[in-house]
């Protein structure tokens, strides 16, 4: 897939990130390690996604002298995991910005139609003023991402970003057709979806692997 036609899609390519995604893909990686690595990946991807945060010069004193140096200015942030799997990325993001608010959107994919269904939504009241980072490890058909953004827009969200770990070309295309202006951060771009709309080679069901509910 040629991503150069999508200026707001950022495929991250740090070797540490690739290494950790390979650990997630391995079917022998157990729940404990899987959860831990998802959190580490969220820190790495979050670090990149937060690159444009504004800074302001503040006066401090080093042991040597007074100086004006940059600190993050009072930008209001909100992290929104898509339940369940997005929950695995929250701790990594709040490690980077402990003061961020956290909203929750609950969606599950119907096993037959693969359409997302909403079952939960709790968001900060001042969403419109916040820079929002939506978290979900998997972008498969793109249906869940598109529904989550649509819900957030209905609640007044204006400035959004979407962070996923693995994306399928089908999901990227659907997302870009709908929301080309909303930056999309991807850890790995995989080959395709299978007939059950799972990402190939992927990592299986992210929620099941994070929470240990694999059959």
Residues that bind ligand PRP (CB under 6 A): 82-85, 107-109, 114, 116, 136-145, 171, 197, 205-207
CB of 171 to ligand URA, least distance (A): 9
Identify which of residues 116 and 183 has a Cβ nearer to ligand URA in the complex: 116
CA atoms within 13 A on the CB side of 210: 19
Identity of the residue, 80 or 138, whose beta carbon is nearer to ligand URA in the bound complex: 138
Q: Cβ distance 20 to 40 under 8 Å? A: yes
205 given a catalytic annotation: yes
How near is the Cβ of 190 to ligand PRP at its closest, in Å? 12
Shortest distance (Å) from residue 21 CB to ligand PRP: 15
**From the candidates 22, 55, 113, 150, which is the catalytic residue?**
113
Is residue 113 annotated as a catalytic residue, yes or no? Answer: yes
Query: Of 35, 109, 130, 209, which residue is the catalytic one?
Result: 109
Give the closest residue to 148 by CA, choosing from 174, 118, 114. Answer: 118
Tell the smallest beta-carbon distance from residue 155 to ligand URA (Å).
Answer: 24
The full 3-state SS of 71-101, as one line of letters, equals EECCCCEEEEEEECHHHHHHHHHHHHCCCCE
| 168-171, Cβ contacts within 8 angstroms, sequence gap of 24 or more | 168/139, 168/140, 168/141, 168/192, 168/193, 168/199, 168/200, 168/202, 169/1, 170/140, 170/141, 170/142, 171/139, 171/140, 171/141, 171/142, 171/145
Which is nearer to ligand URA, 126 or 192 (by Cβ)?
192
| CA distances (Å), origin 110, targets 80, 113, 204 | 21, 6, 16
- Which of the choices ligand URA, ligand PRP, none does residue 202 contact, using the CB cut-off of 5 to 8 A by kind? ligand URA
The residues that touch ligand URA, with contacts defined as CB under 6 A, are: 85, 138, 140, 198-199, 202, 205-207
Binding site partner of 143, from ligand URA, ligand PRP, none, Cβ cut-off 5-8 A by kind = ligand PRP
Catalogue the active-site residues: 109, 113, 205, 208
């Amino acid at each position: 897939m040629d991503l150069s036609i999508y200026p707001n899609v950022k495929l991250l390519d740090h070797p540490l990130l690739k290494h950790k995604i390979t650990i997630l893909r391995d079917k022998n990686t157990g729940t404990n390690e899987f959860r831990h690595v998802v959190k580490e990946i969220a820190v790495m991807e979050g670090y990149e996604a937060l690159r444009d945060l504004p800074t302001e010069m503040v006066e401090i004193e080093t042991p040597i002298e007074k100086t004006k140096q940059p600190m993050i200015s009072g930008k209001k942030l909100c992290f929104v995991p898509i339940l369940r799997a997005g929950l695995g990325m929250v701790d990594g993001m709040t490690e980077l910005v402990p003061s961020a608010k956290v909203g929750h959107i609950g969606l599950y994919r119907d096993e037959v139609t693969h359409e997302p269904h909403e079952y939960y939504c709790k968001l900060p009241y001042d969403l419109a003023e916040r820079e929002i980072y939506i978290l979900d490890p998997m972008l498969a058909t793109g249906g869940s991402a598109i529904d989550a953004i649509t819900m957030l827009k209905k609640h007044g969200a204006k400035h959004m970003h979407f962070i996923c770990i693995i994306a399928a070309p089908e999901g990227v295309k659907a997302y870009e057709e709908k929301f080309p202006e909303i930056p999309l951060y991807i850890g790995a771009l995989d080959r395709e979806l299978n007939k059950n709309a799972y990402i190939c080679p992927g990592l299986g069901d992210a929620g099941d692997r994070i929470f240990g509910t694999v059959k």
